[in-house]
């Protein structure tokens, strides 16, 4: 007999290897139990993602749509970047171009008092120009 | 009264996709013996087969909404099973112990078994056990690609065209793999062939 055929006949005998009786009934129950356990263990976001992933192939999205979305996203990014202030982009000297909310020295309560209060009651010296108000001047008369 | 005819796979798939888990249970009942045989004969280990088969159906259940019917459900399920089993065998590597199922008593009356055990009493359990052991050892010596083809063709009786679809290869490749696998098996099983 052809040896190739003999090998085939021997291999066919492996069909007689069978799992224990009742195995397939138990198998279904075990499958259902695992599915329930899996569903309980799965976080809600994962369940949602899985649902989206499973129906995603059904979306009728034209092939070029992905490229169009990519180009639009790239364009938008470029537009945002070009509208930034030049100093910010170039990393210019911050001491000259940027504002700071922090003062060079701490602000104290005396800064907000009237001037007379800051000097211990005495008014600061002031100067009076030697002149009279215009309204007090004598009218020109010749 | 006649029983209602069994629903076609496509109907059960559509019902599962519409959210009826019991329809998928029917598919599990229908496919588990066949896929069990496929995985078991590739792994030669009952416990690994049990775990893998659970994972195969879990994966199929998760992915069934994406099944568009480009191939038959039969082909789709077998593809998942073969790919997952091959990945498992690759990861398992050489650390492997066989855990074989019992042989059905019907084997004693099979002419192929009687022929293979000529010279000894075919009812001798030692003969039977040795043949089973040697067959499984020989299969495990094949590469996983060759083992998959031999399992589907010789043990499960699938046609070349179906195997080609499941594995995503040409029928010519299926035939070529079978040829080389048989040649190797002839060497491993010499004592059962030459008499």
Condensed to tens digits (0 to 9), the pLDDT of residues B52-66 reads: 999 999 999 999 999
Report if pTM > 0.90.
no
Question: d(Cα B82, Cα B87) in Å, to the nearest integer?
Answer: 9
Tell me, what's the pLDDT at B24? 96
Question: d(Cα A88, Cα A79) in Å, to the nearest integer?
Answer: 15
Q: Is B7 helix (H, G, I), strand (E, B) or coil?
A: coil
Interface of B with A in 154-173 (CB under 8 A): 154-155
Q: Among candidates A5, A140, A117, A11, which has minimal Cα distance to B131? A: A11
Q: Above 90 in pLDDT, residue A116?
A: no
ipTM: 0.85
Question: d(Cα A110, Cα A116) in Å, to the nearest integer?
Answer: 11
- Give the pLDDT band (50/70/90) at residue A39: confident
More confident position, A131 or B7: B7
Q: Is some CB atom of chain A closer than 8 A to the CB atom of B65?
A: yes
Tell me, what's the pLDDT at A91? 46
Tell me, what's the pLDDT at B105? 76
Mutate to test the interface with A, among B131, B182, B184, B194 (most CBs of A within 10 A): B182
- For B89, the token pair is 């065998």
Interface of A with B in 8-47 (CB under 8 A): 8-20, 24, 27-28, 30-32, 34-35, 38
Q: Is some CB atom of chain A closer than 8 A to the CB atom of B98?
A: no
Q: Above 50 in pLDDT, residue A92?
A: no
Q: Among candidates B24, B132, B166, B187, which has minimal Cα distance to A16? A: B132
* Angle of the B9-17 helix axis to the B73-92 helix axis, nearest 10: 80
Q: Above 90 in pLDDT, residue A87?
A: no
Average pLDDT of every residue of chain A? 72
In terms of Cβ atoms closer than 10 Å to its own Cβ (0-12, 13-18, 19+), residue B4 is: exposed
Residues of B whose CB is below 8 A from A55: 65-66
Question: d(Cα A63, Cα B171) in Å, to the nearest integer?
Answer: 32
Quote the minimal CA–CA distance from A24 to chain B in Å.
7
Q: Do B182 and A7 touch (CB under 8 A)?
A: yes
pLDDT in tens, B55-103: 999 999 999 999 999 999 999 999 999 999 999 999 887 767 888 888 8
Tell me, what's the pLDDT at A100? 56
Tell me, what's the pLDDT at B191? 84
Quote the minimal CA–CA distance from A43 to chain B in Å.
15
Interface of A with B in 50-69 (CB under 8 A): 50, 54-58
Q: Above 80 in pLDDT, residue A94?
A: no
Picking from B46, B100, B112, the nearest residue to A13 by CB comes out as B112
Q: How much is the average pLDDT of B11-23?
A: 95
**Are A110 and A118 a contacting pair, CB within 8 Å?**
yes
CA A96 to chain centre: 30
Nearest residue of chain B to residue A53 (CA atoms)? B66
Q: How much is the average pLDDT of A50-63?
A: 63
- Give the pLDDT band (50/70/90) at residue A58: low
Go through A100-132 and write b for each residue having 16 or more CB atoms within 10 A of its CB, e for each that does not.
eeeeeeeeeeeeeeeeeeeeeeeeeeeeeeeee
Q: Above 50 in pLDDT, residue B177?
A: yes
Least confident of A62-71, A91-100, B22-31: A91-100
Q: Among candidates A21, A98, A55, A1, which has minimal Cα distance to B112? A: A1
Q: How many CB pairs under 8 A join A and B?
A: 113
- Give the pLDDT band (50/70/90) at residue B104: confident
Q: Above 90 in pLDDT, residue B122?
A: no
Q: How much is the average pLDDT of B164-173?
A: 97
Q: Above 70 in pLDDT, residue B175?
A: yes
Other CB atoms within 10 A of residue B117 CB: 20
Other CB atoms within 10 A of residue B79 CB: 15
Tell me, what's the pLDDT at B76? 97
């Amino acid at each position: 007999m052809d040896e190739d055929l003999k090998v085939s006949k021997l291999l066919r005998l492996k069909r007689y290897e069978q799992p224990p009786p009742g195995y397939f009934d138990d198998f279904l129950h075990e499958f259902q139990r695992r599915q329930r356990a899996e569903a309980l263990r799965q976080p809600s976001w994962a369940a949602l993602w899985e649902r989206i992933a499973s129906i995603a192939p059904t979306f009728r999205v034209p092939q070029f749509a992905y490229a169009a979305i990519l180009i639009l996203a790239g364009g938008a990014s470029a537009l945002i970047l070009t509208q930034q202030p030049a100093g910010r982009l170039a990393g210019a000297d911050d001491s000259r171009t940027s504002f700071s909310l922090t003062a060079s020295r701490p602000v104290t309560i005396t800064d907000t008092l009237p001037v007379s209060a800051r000097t211990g009651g005495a008014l600061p010296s002031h100067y009076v120009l030697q002149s009279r108000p215009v309204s007090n001047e004598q009218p020109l008369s010749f | 009264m006649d029983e209602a005819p069994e629903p076609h796979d496509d109907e059960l798939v559509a019902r599962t996709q519409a959210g009826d888990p019991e329809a998928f249970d029917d598919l599990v009942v229908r496919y588990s013996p066949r896929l069990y045989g496929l995985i078991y004969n590739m792994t030669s280990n009952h416990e690994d087969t049990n775990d893998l088969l659970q994972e195969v159906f879990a994966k199929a259940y998760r992915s069934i909404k994406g099944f568009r019917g480009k191939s038959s459900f039969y082909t789709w399920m077998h593809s998942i099973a073969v790919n997952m089993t091959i990945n498992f065998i690759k990861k398992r590597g050489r650390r492997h112990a066989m855990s074989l199922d019992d042989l059905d008593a019907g084997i004693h009356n099979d002419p192929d078994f009687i022929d293979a055990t000529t010279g000894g009493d075919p009812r001798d359990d030692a003969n039977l056990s040795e043949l089973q052991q040697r067959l499984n050892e020989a299969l495990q010596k094949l590469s996983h690609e060759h083992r998959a083809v031999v399992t589907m063709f010789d043990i499960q009786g699938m046609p070349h065209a179906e195997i080609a679809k499941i594995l995503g290869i040409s029928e010519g490749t299926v035939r070529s793999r079978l040829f080389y696998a048989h040649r190797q098996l002839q060497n491993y099983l010499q004592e059962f062939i030459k008499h």
